[in-house]
């Protein structure tokens, strides 16, 4: 076995330290022999697989990883992201010199999952350009060159970096490495009391020796040498550059600051957040657009400007895993516009497989793969949005899917659509929400219809449900000042557009004035702030007595119009609009008041008001089935027929929208049909 002073010190030193700490007895010896036998049995197969097999275990047993906001990238997801970003035309893969000059970094590498996938992808691209199968010596030399020169990983967790070093040896276990560019970045309070921000320190100024007149305009750090970083093999020389890189591939931490850093005291955490704000302010002095991306809610927003600063101005790529909400939420608009300004948004891949909605492990949010490239603004075509029907179940399938996407041949693996560059640059990335990306274009046509206008233009919308909870408590009908309220959105209770109160509210002690003001905003027309897309039935309703609650009042002077609006709010055009504004979980969206105010309704002169009011008479007591059963729901067909008049389209066209919506995976909780 190599000694701790050899090239494998990063792998063996921690293991030797553990062995030294164990008791020297027969039980320990027997346990070690069992482990050694298991290791011998799996060693060959692990080296052949060449992917991160320690990551899942690491994230399962090490609580600090999750508190740091880290989520393990699934191996198959990593393969797909690497193959989609490291394309055939990136460089001449037959030129060993060009391969050796590549510089790719993961600034939040964890156990090295994305680095390992990049390593294997580069090796496959080089091998594919040769005349025949590479000899073992050639393969080992290539592996060594990539590990020592091409790839770099940074992380705040030393245990993750240690496992990344182990992973990087897979595939070439007999090679002696001079160095590995795997670095633990200082994070949190330091010995002298000043906090550090891990990889984010790269965004700080480069040279403390600069005079005061130029400090605020200094460039970001260009090397790791001045960042007190600890290289995994304790090399005295850290050669990897921090500017003009060819690629950044990452799954940045995205846990919000309320959950991050629970291992620190409150005072330490506040100091860390102040330091991060200082980094943002320094960045603002050099690049206001980049600093505008950063919010105080989540550490993840720092990583986009960080990646952009690391990359060269031409031919570089940025590939990352990100939550779908980052592509849809209002809070992510600045980041989306920044990315579209500095890069061409080449492709966004989203999984619409209900069994696997994320590319990371141990998370319940929908995720996407984002691939951006440096291109001049004049050369930026439309963006491709790809929706996967089913997530790959093996490495071979992941490679096949990624290559099919790159070749423009998604086939029955999913669907693909193009989205105009001007919409992407404006921050409109809404096709990520749909398996049928064409629905995003349909919704755009609805919202741009000259026959419609935002409901907020003529109708007050609010107060929001939380405001009512602040001013009122649930009580009994007999309580002094009790008012009727609509609290539940349950599909068991809300089944028709005619609704009845399910709770009674009475003013909170000390909140009587606020309660009185909200009481004056009650309405007979109420719309939902949230819904379950699979089981939910009703989005808007009319109730005989003015009410409020978790259902939001919409002010109307005309009771007939209120009933007509309740019908419109349950139509397919309105449901499409609402579902195009999913700012949280795709299967359980919540809407802010601003989202609701933007929903388009018929203009005052529209003949649709009469047909919608007449439809009310037909459907007021009829049961509305969940969206996935829309074709078997007579009430929905009546509603959509009336809505067709208001929108100026045929009933057949709206029926087509309804059918397409009804088979969306986030509506059916089943995979999309082939």
Lowest mean pLDDT among 210-219, 423-432, 664-673: 210-219
| Residue 469 exposed, middle or buried by CB count within 10 Å (0-12, 13-18, 19+) | middle
Beta strands in 334-451 (DSSP E): 344-351, 367-373, 383-388, 414-419
Give a yes or no: residue 473 inside a domain. Answer: no
CA distances from 57 to 8, 49, 173, 606 (A): 22, 17, 21, 61
Residue 622 has pLDDT above 60, yes or no: yes
Confidence tier at 481 by pLDDT (50, 70, 90):
confident
Using 50, 70 and 90 to split pLDDT, how confident is the model at 208?
very low
Asked whether residue 7 carries a pLDDT value surpassing 60, the answer given is no
For residue 510, being part of any structural domain is answered with: no
Tokens of 233: 């093999």
Name which of 9-13, 325-329, 386-390 the model is least confident about. Answer: 9-13
pLDDT of residue 207: 34
**496 and 404 together in one domain:** no
Asked, for residue 13, whether it belongs to a domain, the answer is: no
Q: What does each C-alpha distance from 337 to 315, 344, 376, 426, 505 come to in angstroms?
A: 20, 11, 15, 6, 43
202 and 336 in a single domain? The answer is yes
Co-location of 408 and 457 in the same domain: no
**Does a structural domain hold residue 656?**
yes
Provide the domain count of the chain: 2
The stretch 84-97 carries a mean pLDDT of: 94
Tokens of 540: 């808007």
Q: Are residues 428 and 562 in the same domain?
A: no
DSSP state of 490: -
Q: CA end-to-end span of the chain, whole Å?
A: 53
pLDDT in tens, 516-570: 999 999 999 999 999 999 999 999 999 999 999 999 999 998 999 999 999 999 9
Rounded Cα distance, 582 and 433, in Å = 8
Report the interhelical angle of 572-579 vs 634-647 (nearest 10°). 80
For residue 447, is it within any domain? no
Query: Are 547 and 428 in the same domain?
Result: no
For the chain, the average pLDDT equals: 87
Q: Quick one: pLDDT band at residue 393, thresholds 50, 70, 90?
A: very high
Claim to verify: residue 166 and residue 116 sit in the same structural domain: yes
Could you say which DSSP state residue 149 is in?
I
List, in order, residues 6 or more apart from 220 with CB less than 8 Å away. Answer: 202, 203, 204, 205, 206, 242, 243, 286, 309
Percent of the chain residues past pLDDT 70, beyond the cut: 87
* Nearest CA among 207, 276, 249 for reference residue 119: 249
Task: Indicate whether 467 belongs to any domain.
Answer: no
Q: Is position 446 within any domain?
A: no
Structure tokens at 427: 């921050």
CA proximity to 157, closest of 297, 62, 272? 62
Backbone φ and ψ of 648, nearest 5°? 70, 35
Residues 180 and 308 in one domain: yes
Let me know whether 573 and 647 are in one domain.
yes
Yes or no: say if 405 and 347 are a contact pair by the CB < 8 Å rule: yes
Residue 34 has pLDDT above 90, yes or no: no
Torsion of CA 293, 298, 299, 305, to 10 degrees: -10
- Tell me, yes or no, whether 590 and 544 share the same domain: yes
CATH at 275: 3.40.50.150
For residue 225, pLDDT beyond 90: no
pLDDT for res 1: 38
Rounded to whole angstroms, the Cα distance separating 160 from 61 reads: 12
Mean pLDDT of 466-488: 93
In terms of domains, do 527 and 414 share one?
no
pLDDT band with cut points at 50, 70 and 90 for residue 222: very low
Shared domain for 585 and 635, answered yes or no, is yes
pLDDT of residue 217: 26
Quote the domain boundaries for residue 545: 453-461+489-500+521-668
Structure tokens at 471: 């001013």
- Same domain (yes/no): 457, 388: no
For residue 440, being part of any structural domain is answered with no
Q: How far apart are CA 598 and CA 447, in angstroms?
A: 9
Residue 661 has pLDDT above 70, yes or no: yes
């Amino acid at each position: 076995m190599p000694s701790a002073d050899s090239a494998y010190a990063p792998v063996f030193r921690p293991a030797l330290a553990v062995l030294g700490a164990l008791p020297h007895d027969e039980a320990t010896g027997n346990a070690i022999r069992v482990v050694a036998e298991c290791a011998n049995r799996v060693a060959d197969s692990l080296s052949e697989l060449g992917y991160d097999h320690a990551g899942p275990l690491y994230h399962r047993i090490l609580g600090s990883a999750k508190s740091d906001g880290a989520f393990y990238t699934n191996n198959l997801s990593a393969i797909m992201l690497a193959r989609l970003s490291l394309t055939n035309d990136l460089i001449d893969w037959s030129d060993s010199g060009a391969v050796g000059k590549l510089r790719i970094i993961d600034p939040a590498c964890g156990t090295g999952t994305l680095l390992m996938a990049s390593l294997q992808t580069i090796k496959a691209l080089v091998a594919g350009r040769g005349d025949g199968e590479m000899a073992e010596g050639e393969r080992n030399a290539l592996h060594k060159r990539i590990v020592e020169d091409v790839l770099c990983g940074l992380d705040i967790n030393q245990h993750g970096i240690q496992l990344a070093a182990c992973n990087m040896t897979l595939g070439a276990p007999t090679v002696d490495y001079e160095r590995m560019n795997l670095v633990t970045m200082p994070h949190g309070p330091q010995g002298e009391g000043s906090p550090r921000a891990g990889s984010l320190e790269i965004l700080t100024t480069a040279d403390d020796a600069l005079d005061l007149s130029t400090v605020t305009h200094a460039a970001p750090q260009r090397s790791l040498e001045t960042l007190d970083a600890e290289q995994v093999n304790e090399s005295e020389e850290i050669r990897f550059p921090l500017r003009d890189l060819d690629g950044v591939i990452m799954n940045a931490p995205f846990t919000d600051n309320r959950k991050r850093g629970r291992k620190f005291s409150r005072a330490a955490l506040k100091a860390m957040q102040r330091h991060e704000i200082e980094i943002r302010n320094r960045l603002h002095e050099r690049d206001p657009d980049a600093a505008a991306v950063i919010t105080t809610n989540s550490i993840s927003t720092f990583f986009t400007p960080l990646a952009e600063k690391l990359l060269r101005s031409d031919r570089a790529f940025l590939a990352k895993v990100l939550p779908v909400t980052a592509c849809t939420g209002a809070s992510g608009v600045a980041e989306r516009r920044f990315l579209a300004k500095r890069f061409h948004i080449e492709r966004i891949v989203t999984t619409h497989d209900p069994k696997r909605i994320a590319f990371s492990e141990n998370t319940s949010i929908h995720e996407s793969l984002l691939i951006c490239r440096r291109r001049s603004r004049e050369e930026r075509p439309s963006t491709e949005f790809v929706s996967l029907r089913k997530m790959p179940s093996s490495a071979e399938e992941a490679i096949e899917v990624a290559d099919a996407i790159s070749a423009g041949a998604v086939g029955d693996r999913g669907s693909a659509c193009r989205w105009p560059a001007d919409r992407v640059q404006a921050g409109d990335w809404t096709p990520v929400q749909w398996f049928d990306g064409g629905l995003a274009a349909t919704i755009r046509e609805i919202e741009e219809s000259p026959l419609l206008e935002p409901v907020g233009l003529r109708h007050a919308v609010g107060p929001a449900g939380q405001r009512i909870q602040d001013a009122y408590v649930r009580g009994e009908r007999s309580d002094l000042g009790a008012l009727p309220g609509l609290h539940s959105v349950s599909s068991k209770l809300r089944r028709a557009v005619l609704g009845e109160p399910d709770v009674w509210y009475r003013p909170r002690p000390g909140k009587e004035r606020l309660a009185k003001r909200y009481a004056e905003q009650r309405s007979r027309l109420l719309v939902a702030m949230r819904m379950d897309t699979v089981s939910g039935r009703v989005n808007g309703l009319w109730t005989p007595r003015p009410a409020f609650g978790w259902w939001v009042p919409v002010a109307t002077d005309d009771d007939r119009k209120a009933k007509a609006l309740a019908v419109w709010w349950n139509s397919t055009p309105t449901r499409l609009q609402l579902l195009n504004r999913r700012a949280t979980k795709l299967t359980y969206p919540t809407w802010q008041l601003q989202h609701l105010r933007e929903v388009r309704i018929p203009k005052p002169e529209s003949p649709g008001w009469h047909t919608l009011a007449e439809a009310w008479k037909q459907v007021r007591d009829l049961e509305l089935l969940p969206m996935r059963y829309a074709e078997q729901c007579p009430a929905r067909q009546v509603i959509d027929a009336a809505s067709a008049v208001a929108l100026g389209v045929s009933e057949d066209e709206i029926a087509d929208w309804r059918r397409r919506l009804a088979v969306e995976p986030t509506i059916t909780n089943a995979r999309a049909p082939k």
